[in-house]
A and B are shown apart, each in its own frame.
Chain A
């Protein structure tokens, strides 16, 4: 047995009471982190109740007009994973992906609130296809989103896209893994950045909500398995796991490099930090979480945890990603203050805690302004669903 552990090895060994032992800023910036306003709404279907529920929720967090009027808005949706693999017969939008009607509703309300331009963005894994093409392949009607408001466009941010160069976002509050990230121009060419996520769990990071959704902003031409060594590749190839989850390869040299190559190669260590850094470098102005229909278990149908398509019937929106995700965790039956070793962070650090330490936001719901339906009335216990699946399997 190894006798002496370095500090980093100790950290990698994890969470062992984690919290206090976080590489990053010399001291936690939690004290200076902004509070957030978060609203919770009941919404059982993507039918006529959707727009009013969303509108009311936006009003409860201060209204969209002040945020988007006359502004260019980038809405990062979630179209994760291989689209050809569903969870049973359920369409992707009812499990892992942001639902097109929810996207359309948000776009419509932003347009109504006076947004100058709305660019719906996402880096669907490992493909250069336009977002229209990805949506068409799922039998969506992209025109419904494009026509939901004036000046709506799509951009696949997996690569350079319509930009001339990548935009650099430095982590202002102290790097833990990377000092900065190079992203598609869309994330700079916007006044308002919206993360529109799904109410999901994640095999490596416990949950995947509005903070984790920002992870998908990273272009695979730089951070993918097939990224260029020196410069970004022209075409996106491969997923981000090799670079981000396991540090099997480096990002293209043109991008900011890992601060220390001896850092742990454990996804449960790396991903929460990368996610917190990205949220610090490219802050979210409006977080929206689609929990009308979603899935338990992992965020794709490749997860090993018990998965089920579920209907929590809830929407959540907030002005701060950490605060919004904290409320979402509570809705999912988790403790937002959980640290490594406690569900849902059994094998990872808490990205919320790390975000808090970087000054992104506060995870303690009592420190944020929460409106709408009381959380206790909309709790949908993801663990209970998974436990039931396991129990049923045992019986079978």
Chain B
């Protein structure tokens, strides 16, 4: 099977190389090694038969002696898998001889390989760049770009579902890196890899792992914990139930793929080159905006000149280095036209005239035509205070969406190219329904709203409760992990 946007990848640990790698890790047991041998057996492919999974990601080379045995050991698996229409991607890692590994992968009939660093010039099959998100290589030729350092999504251990009366709980999400990589590589499919913690996990944990990646526009390279893999191989029913739920979630996202072309939307745009020293600040801002329920767009600095600023109230220019003259002019014109431009403290020769502002603010405000220039006071501002104050300056007057009764949820708002359709992805990182169903405030009038979720037997039409002060509220049923509100204007 060719590597493309329809590929549904799953990590398939098997064979002598994974055993050799495992033996170096703490807690590796004879039972685990046995499971790796079982998964090497072509009969194990029955696990993915009839599921959306159609691309198995195997270890191919790691610079270990076992590299030499891996292709032969996996040959029966690969041959049977290919006959069944499965694709195979070989991961080349560590100090492996990359050109040799790519050549052997091609010879073995693999669909592609995945590796960090540059692809060998001689590569005759697609080479998926497999890098940390901060080092993503969008220019690679592969139709897929990989993020190798995803995190297992959820609430950090010891975090409560509700947070405190003063704040919302922290959540671990892959949303920010996925959105950035999507922005940098808009023509590619993003895969994100992360492994589950080695503990017994409920089905909802795997549902969240799928949904966190999918709702932000990526595909999780499915990875099961050791026990689940062992139990699946042993055909144990609880494991089969978890696996079934995971696959139902994959199928759900496949059924709703029409919104894959939608783009994040909101009154604020984050502009950055997302590279080098700018990565952390940009990634953290994009990570935190969902926590303060601030919808946003993401714009690559290299494409900012061609990007439309229509509908924006504010632009956050993240990068420490000033933009080139043309982009600076565009940004300043945006502010002069009534927008607010947030810039770092290093912004040279700030335009406009000083405005008085609340003393706590992280920004010095300057009047610029009909708008404002907001220059950060600190060279290294606290990211949380920074995003809070961006929202304070923009003002809740300009909120287009508000989410209530969902402290452990994030949402992502995306719209179609023409703006007539929207979707609000809702992710519950606690994996448990709250005491009340989520409640959304929607500022703009819409023709219809319906909730779709793998947790619902069928889509639920949502009624708009018009508010005296403007806007409307949508009352949602309780959601354990994921739902999406589909909006029609």
| A residues whose Cβ falls under 8 Å from a Cβ of B | 80-82, 84-89, 125-130, 133, 136-137, 139-141, 159-160, 225, 234-236, 238-239, 300-302
Given A84-B405, A84-B407: A239 and B441 interface contact (C-beta under 8 Å): no
CB distance from B240 to the nearest CB of A (A): 32
B167 close to A82 (CB less than 8 A): yes
Cα–Cα, bound, A149→B266 (Å): 36
Chain B residue numbers with a CB within 8 Å of A81 are 165-166
B26 at interface, CB cutoff 8 A: no
A302 close to B162 (CB less than 8 A): yes
Given A84-B293, A89-B475: A238 and B439 interface contact (C-beta under 8 Å): no
A159 close to B360 (CB less than 8 A): yes
Partner of B396, one of A86, A88, A137: A137
A85 close to B162 (CB less than 8 A): yes
Partner of A133, one of B392, B406, B471, B475: B392
Nearest to A303 among chain B residues (CB) is: B165
Chain B residue numbers with a CB within 8 Å of A239 are 164-166
A82 close to B166 (CB less than 8 A): yes
B470 at interface, CB cutoff 8 A: yes
Can you offer 29 A-B residue contacts whose CB atoms are under 8 A?
A81-B166, A82-B167, A84-B293, A84-B407, A85-B404, A85-B405, A86-B404, A86-B405, A86-B439, A88-B405, A89-B436, A125-B166, A126-B166, A127-B388, A128-B360, A133-B392, A136-B395, A136-B396, A139-B469, A139-B471, A140-B469, A141-B469, A160-B359, A225-B166, A234-B360, A239-B164, A300-B165, A302-B162, A302-B165
Chain A residue numbers with a CB within 8 Å of B293 are 84
CB distance from B195 to the nearest CB of A (A): 32
Q: Which 7 A-B pairs have the closest CB atoms?
A: A126-B166, A136-B396, A137-B396, A239-B166, A128-B360, A139-B469, A81-B165
Partner of B399, one of A86, A137, A159: A137
| B residues whose Cβ falls under 8 Å from a Cβ of A | 162-168, 293, 358-361, 385, 388, 392, 395-397, 399, 402-407, 435-436, 439, 441, 467, 469-471, 473, 475
Cα–Cα, bound, A89→B406 (Å): 12
Chain A residue numbers with a CB within 8 Å of B403 are 84
Chain B residue numbers with a CB within 8 Å of A136 are 395-397, 399
A125 close to B359 (CB less than 8 A): no
CB distance from B392 to the nearest CB of A (A): 5
Cα–Cα, bound, A136→B436 (Å): 23
Nearest to A82 among chain B residues (CB) is: B165
Partner of B358, one of A125, A128, A139: A128
CB distance from B177 to the nearest CB of A (A): 25
Nearest to A133 among chain B residues (CB) is: B396
Label chain B's interface by main secondary structure: loop
Nearest to B164 among chain A residues (CB) is: A239
Chain B residue numbers with a CB within 8 Å of A130 are 358, 392
CB distance from A160 to the nearest CB of B (A): 7
Nearest to A142 among chain B residues (CB) is: B397
Nearest to B403 among chain A residues (CB) is: A84
CB distance from B427 to the nearest CB of A (A): 16
Chain A residue numbers with a CB within 8 Å of B473 are 89
Chain A residue numbers with a CB within 8 Å of B467 are 139
A301 close to B392 (CB less than 8 A): no
A86 close to B168 (CB less than 8 A): no
Cα–Cα, bound, A225→B167 (Å): 12
Given A89-B436, A139-B467: A82 and B359 interface contact (C-beta under 8 Å): no
A133 close to B439 (CB less than 8 A): no
Chain B residue numbers with a CB within 8 Å of A126 are 166-167
Chain A residue numbers with a CB within 8 Å of B435 are 301
CB distance from B363 to the nearest CB of A (A): 12
Chain A residue numbers with a CB within 8 Å of B405 are 84-86, 88
Cα–Cα, bound, A302→B407 (Å): 11
Chain A residue numbers with a CB within 8 Å of B392 are 128-130, 133
- Identify the interface centre among B164, B165, B166, B358: most chain A CB within 10 Å of its CB: B166
Known: A81-B166, A130-B358, A130-B392. 20 other contacts (CB 8 A): A81-B165, A82-B166, A82-B168, A84-B293, A84-B403, A85-B405, A85-B407, A86-B404, A127-B388, A128-B358, A128-B361, A136-B397, A137-B402, A139-B441, A139-B467, A140-B469, A160-B359, A234-B359, A234-B360, A302-B162
CB distance from B372 to the nearest CB of A (A): 16
Partner of B407, one of A80, A82, A133: A82
Nearest to A87 among chain B residues (CB) is: B436
Nearest to B402 among chain A residues (CB) is: A137
Nearest to B163 among chain A residues (CB) is: A82
Cα–Cα, bound, A130→B389 (Å): 11
Cα–Cα, bound, A86→B162 (Å): 12
Chain B residue numbers with a CB within 8 Å of A139 are 402, 441, 467, 469-471
Chain A residue numbers with a CB within 8 Å of B359 are 160, 234
Chain A residue numbers with a CB within 8 Å of B165 are 80-82, 125, 239, 300, 302
Chain A residue numbers with a CB within 8 Å of B441 are 139
Cα–Cα, bound, A80→B397 (Å): 21
Chain B residue numbers with a CB within 8 Å of A86 are 404-405, 436, 439
Chain A residue numbers with a CB within 8 Å of B439 are 86, 89
Nearest to B434 among chain A residues (CB) is: A85
Cα–Cα, bound, A85→B163 (Å): 11
Cα–Cα, bound, A125→B165 (Å): 8
Nearest to B409 among chain A residues (CB) is: A84
CB distance from B437 to the nearest CB of A (A): 8
Nearest to A135 among chain B residues (CB) is: B396
CB distance from A27 to the nearest CB of B (A): 37
CB distance from A240 to the nearest CB of B (A): 9
A235 close to B395 (CB less than 8 A): no
Chain A residue numbers with a CB within 8 Å of B404 are 84-86
Chain B residue numbers with a CB within 8 Å of A234 are 359-360
CB distance from B43 to the nearest CB of A (A): 48
Cα–Cα, bound, A136→B398 (Å): 9
Chain B residue numbers with a CB within 8 Å of A235 are 360, 385
Cα–Cα, bound, A10→B1 (Å): 77
Nearest to A88 among chain B residues (CB) is: B436
Chain B residue numbers with a CB within 8 Å of A84 are 168, 293, 402-407
Chain B residue numbers with a CB within 8 Å of A82 are 163-168, 407
CB distance from A205 to the nearest CB of B (A): 14
CB distance from B99 to the nearest CB of A (A): 54
Chain B residue numbers with a CB within 8 Å of A300 are 165
Cα–Cα, bound, A137→B401 (Å): 10
Chain B residue numbers with a CB within 8 Å of A127 are 388
Cα–Cα, bound, A367→B385 (Å): 50
Cα–Cα, bound, A130→B406 (Å): 24
Chain B residue numbers with a CB within 8 Å of A238 are 166-167
